[in-house]
């Protein structure tokens, strides 16, 4: 049965460009906002809305950069009505 899974922005991990084969999702950077100790990235993975990703790596990515993402399975959850 199809469903939707969720995770917190801080649980998504950026995968280095050379490690995209190990990423769970691949997308393109559509926005990046500096928030002090972290940056919030907006990554388009082809869904209805970009994913929010919180990163502490202090890297400024170029617009439209290819971004690989991974998440530990135990960090995923579903919402039941």
Domain boundaries, the chain: 9-72
pLDDT of res. 21 = 60
Task: Determine the Cα–Cα distance for residues 20 and 1; give it in Å rounded to an integer.
Answer: 28
CATH class of 9-72: mainly beta
Task: Lay out the sheet containing 39-44: strands in order across.
Answer: 13-15, 66-70, 25-34, 39-44, 51-55
Supply the pLDDT for residue 73: 87
pLDDT digits (tens, 9 = 90+) for 12-38: 999 876 655 666 889 999 999 999 899
Q: Rounded to whole angstroms, how far apart are CA atoms 74 and 12? A: 12
CA distance 41 to 55: 7
The DSSP letter of residue 70 is E
Asked whether the whole model's pTM tops 0.85, one would answer no
Q: For residue 54, name the pLDDT band (cuts at 50, 70, 90).
A: very high
């Amino acid at each position: 049965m199809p469903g939707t899974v969720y995770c917190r922005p801080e649980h998504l991990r950026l995968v280095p460009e050379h490690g995209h084969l190990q990423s769970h999702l691949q997308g393109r950077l559509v926005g990046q906002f500096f928030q002090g100790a972290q940056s919030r990235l907006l990554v388009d993975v082809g869904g209805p809305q970009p994913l929010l990703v919180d990163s502490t790596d202090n890297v400024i990515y170029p617009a439209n950069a290819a971004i690989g993402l991974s998440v530990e399975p135990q960090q995923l959850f579903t919402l039941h009505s």
